[in-house]
Chains A and B, each alone.
Chain A
Amino acid sequence: MSARTDLRESARDLLAADAAKIAAVMLGIYVTYLLVGLILGYSANGMINTLQRLTFLVAIYAMVVLALNLHWGYTGLFNIGVAGFMAVGLYTMAMLAKPVEPTGGAQYPGLGLPVPIAILGGVLAAALVGFVVALPALRLRADYFAIVTIAFAEIVRLLYTASPFQEFTIFGYTMGTGGGRGILFNFQDPVVTIYRLPIFEGPVTFVNQYVEFGPADAQGVIYVGLLVVVLAGYYLLLKRTGESPFGRVLKAIREDEEATNALGKNTNAFKIKSFMLGCALMGLVGILWQFRRAGITPDAFRPHVTFYIWIALIIGGAGSNTGSILGAGIFTAGLFEGPQYLRRIIQSQISVGQPPGTFADAVGPMFALNFQPITSYLFNNMLTLQFVFMGVVLVWLMQNRPDGLLGYRTETAAAVPLGKRSDEVSETVHRADEPSETVSGTDGTSETASREDEVSDQ
């Protein structure tokens, strides 16, 4: 009996552990998608590609949500211009890395810097732009701050679209954004360089014995592996940031900036640092997200992107790094990719028929109790429905689960565990069960009143 409770408790402890939670959720997602692949009759290659794409998206979203969590979850900076900072990172990187004299139809020249330096440049540019936005916007209320950031993100997008910047010369260097036609990434892909490293030769040949695996696929897998490593880095960095005196000040600012200032903390300096760090991380995500493509247009950075990131953050629960990763996983697998796979599964199982051309043609037959046209119309517009659904989910979350789908998580804002005194363990244990009876109640007033009496009676 007690052994079983022990077991159950230790199992709960294990699940409570953040890493285990992430692993469990990701495992669930993978298993589901493997099943989906089976239903759809994917080849091994197809399966790997599915999981690779999924992992790619989860990693990218997890990173950017972590960065946003630093802004909003920790510091209370209401940034809804995330897409803008991502765009600055990516565009700066591309403009620095593009060859000075592009060949063929590869449009506009860049500075021809090595890719790693260009990436660094992109990250720094995003941080710098973050500084420029944060500096004047610091004293604004949260909602004004939000409007400034989204206006800024739109300004960035419009500037990258503007034709005068298609190609321009500054200090004798000619470069360009490509305007509305976008920018081509005609520089050496470092993943290819990594792929050509001798250590990968053996594994690639080995894998190729079992599945058809071209170099492009292998590079894709390597890249995703790389992203997961970078994600781990993000997580560690932000975990340490949160569990430190620095993070403690950020959380205090989120709660009450004026009080924090009155307690001797230069809140503006902390806010700027936090905002710049988050923006730099967003800039890097912008780069990692897109740079293995052939090119990009400014349209990729429409406010939609920011909207997705916010949904993921809210699903996971703002203020928690683990929640950020969980939210990114659930959002990507469930809301972002899920509906498309669902559609494919339905399509593979049943025939939905030729959809009517307009909504009227779909609704009209309903009056004759013919629901086939509306079904196939909705089915045909699954992508649109998906967007509607995302909006509804956000509203539902704000109404019912403002602390996140998985509930509120506390992450201690200190570099050492709090609450237990090292030399008084026994006393702490005694103390620990004392408040438990009072805390567990949901009625805040009665419980605290009784505890107040305890204080005074001591």
Chain B
Amino acid sequence: MGGPVIAAIGESYSRGRSVVAERPLTVVVGIAGLLLLFDLGSGMATGRYSVSRIGRFVWDGLMYGLIIGLAGIGLSLTYGILQFANFAHGDYITSGAFMGWGVTYVIAGLSSANVGHLLLVAPQGNISGGLLEIGVTSTPLAVLVGLVVAGLATILLVLLLDRIVYRPMRDAGGIPLLIASIGVAFALRYVVVLVYSTRTRGTTLRPPGTAINLVDGPLLIDAHDVTLLVATVALMIGVHLLLQRTKLGKAMRAMSDNRDLALVTGIPTERVIRWTWIIGGGLSGMAGYLMVLWTGTIDYQFGWLLLLLIFAAVILGGIGSVYGSIFGGLVIGIAMRLSLVWLPTGDFDLVAAFGIMILALLVKPQGLFAGRTTA
């Protein structure tokens, strides 16, 4: 009786030992993470850290993480199915946001300025989103239509770019596609500059919110926070249903697993790829729109700057995995904000996020949701 038990204990012991020996980095990272969490908990319990401040970090991080996760789904899908890291994804986000916000401006401000000016999200300083009193409570229709247009317009853009750039290179392999996508990113970003100018503009009027009391101070949550939360979660659930319940989702999963096999087994790969772009493009455009709604500013390179964080989320979660992307986004977003608890200034939050990504790649290059691609 005792024999097998001892053998099992021995086995698990030696397995544990081999984890320490073979993956020392994993252990170190794990311990460091636990120590930080412990410090956070004890700090809040003893009053060393302000609970409301940390609450705000977590809430902000959650918002950030939702955007990153939502935008990351598209990147993750194309990465999994087309097998390349699309560096133009960030600029899809920017383009979508500009196109959507142009429509929002038109609807909200048609009486106060000419259409061309509004469609370009007011490139000259005489009108602004604040002046037009744009917000989800003040101009709900403009925001809703803008969000939808952001998604649709980005889909068209992305399909066009696929047709021109990526489709002729379908069999070129991941690296040439990656390099080409850097070219697309650059060209697209400066087309945005050409059309919309480099000016950073304010897009919204801060909507009313409520204060939630958190032990030692209030946490302010406004209507845009709630909109972001509701919209991203709804979109994520939608994608989940799409991928789980439809034949398309099944085909995408099969292609993500083994593209050659999918080809010989009669999956209409081109159609699957088109749908991948449609889902990914739509989500990135809407994520961009929502991000601008939430931050209240827009400029030509915010998507590009977001891209590395999205990569971080996608890699952390495991390429091709939708849940991984959402989970990764939340981890990156919250960790980035929470890092402000320990870091002296706000200069290091991006450094912390990129650092987490590099660590994730080193510790678990296949991602946390490995093996559950596109699920």
Question: Which A positions have Cβ atoms within 8 angstroms of B?
Answer: 78, 80, 136-137, 139-144, 146-148, 150-152, 154-155, 158-159, 161-164, 307, 310, 314, 357-361, 363-364, 378, 381, 384-385, 387-395, 398-399, 402
| Chain B residue at minimum C-beta to C-beta distance from A180 | B347
Q: How far is the CB of A312 from chain B (nearest CB, A)?
A: 13
B197 at the interface (CB under 8 A from A): yes
- Say yes or no: A147 contacts B361, CB within 8 Å: yes
Question: Which B positions have Cβ atoms within 8 angstroms of A?
Answer: 25, 84-85, 114, 116-117, 119-120, 123-124, 165, 168-169, 172, 174-180, 182-191, 193-197, 308, 311-312, 315, 344-345, 347-348, 350-351, 354-355, 357-358, 361-362, 365
Q: How far is the CA of A307 from the CA of B362 in the complex (A)?
A: 25
- Say yes or no: B187 contacts A307, CB within 8 Å: no
* Inter-chain contacts of A141 with B (CB < 8 A): 365
* Inter-chain contacts of B176 with A (CB < 8 A): 398, 402
- Say yes or no: A398 contacts B185, CB within 8 Å: no
* Inter-chain contacts of B124 with A (CB < 8 A): 357-358
- Say yes or no: B365 contacts A381, CB within 8 Å: no
Q: How far is the CA of A129 from the CA of B197 in the complex (A)?
A: 37
- Say yes or no: A395 contacts B347, CB within 8 Å: no
Interface of B is mostly: helix
* Inter-chain contacts of B354 with A (CB < 8 A): 151-152, 154-155
- Say yes or no: A148 contacts B184, CB within 8 Å: no
Whether A393 touches B116, Cβ cut-off 8 Å, given contacts A151-B358, A358-B197, A359-B196, is: no
Q: How far is the CB of A272 from chain B (nearest CB, A)?
A: 15
Q: How far is the CB of A137 from chain B (nearest CB, A)?
A: 8
Q: How far is the CB of B92 from chain A (nearest CB, A)?
A: 14
Q: How far is the CA of A163 from the CA of B347 in the complex (A)?
A: 7
- Say yes or no: B358 contacts A391, CB within 8 Å: no
Q: How far is the CA of A391 from the CA of B190 in the complex (A)?
A: 9
* Inter-chain contacts of A310 with B (CB < 8 A): 179, 182
- Say yes or no: B174 contacts A143, CB within 8 Å: yes
Whether A144 touches B194, Cβ cut-off 8 Å, given contacts A360-B120, A394-B186, A399-B169, is: no
- Say yes or no: B174 contacts A399, CB within 8 Å: no
- Say yes or no: B361 contacts A144, CB within 8 Å: yes
* Inter-chain contacts of A154 with B (CB < 8 A): 308, 350, 354
- Say yes or no: A398 contacts B358, CB within 8 Å: no
User: Nearest 4 A-B pairs (CB), nearest first?
Assistant: A391-B187, A360-B116, A394-B183, A391-B186
Q: How far is the CA of A151 from the CA of B332 in the complex (A)?
A: 14
- Say yes or no: A144 contacts B174, CB within 8 Å: no
- Say yes or no: B179 contacts A314, CB within 8 Å: yes
Q: How far is the CB of A176 from chain B (nearest CB, A)?
A: 14
Q: How far is the CA of A325 from the CA of B195 in the complex (A)?
A: 35
- Say yes or no: B347 contacts A164, CB within 8 Å: yes
| Chain A residue at minimum C-beta to C-beta distance from B25 | A136
- Say yes or no: A393 contacts B183, CB within 8 Å: yes
CB pairs A–B below 8 angstroms (27 shown): A136-B358, A136-B362, A139-B365, A140-B362, A143-B84, A147-B311, A151-B312, A151-B354, A152-B358, A154-B354, A155-B351, A155-B354, A158-B347, A158-B348, A159-B351, A163-B345, A310-B179, A358-B123, A358-B124, A359-B197, A360-B120, A387-B186, A387-B189, A393-B183, A395-B183, A398-B169, A399-B168
* Inter-chain contacts of A159 with B (CB < 8 A): 351
Q: How far is the CB of B362 from chain A (nearest CB, A)?
A: 5
* Inter-chain contacts of A393 with B (CB < 8 A): 183
- Say yes or no: A384 contacts B194, CB within 8 Å: yes
Q: How far is the CA of A152 from the CA of B355 in the complex (A)?
A: 8
- Say yes or no: A398 contacts B183, CB within 8 Å: yes
Q: How far is the CB of B160 from chain A (nearest CB, A)?
A: 13
Which of B120, B165, B355 is in CB contact (< 8 Å) with A359?
Answer: B120
Q: How far is the CA of A399 from the CA of B182 in the complex (A)?
A: 13
* Inter-chain contacts of B315 with A (CB < 8 A): 144, 147
- Say yes or no: B194 contacts A162, CB within 8 Å: no
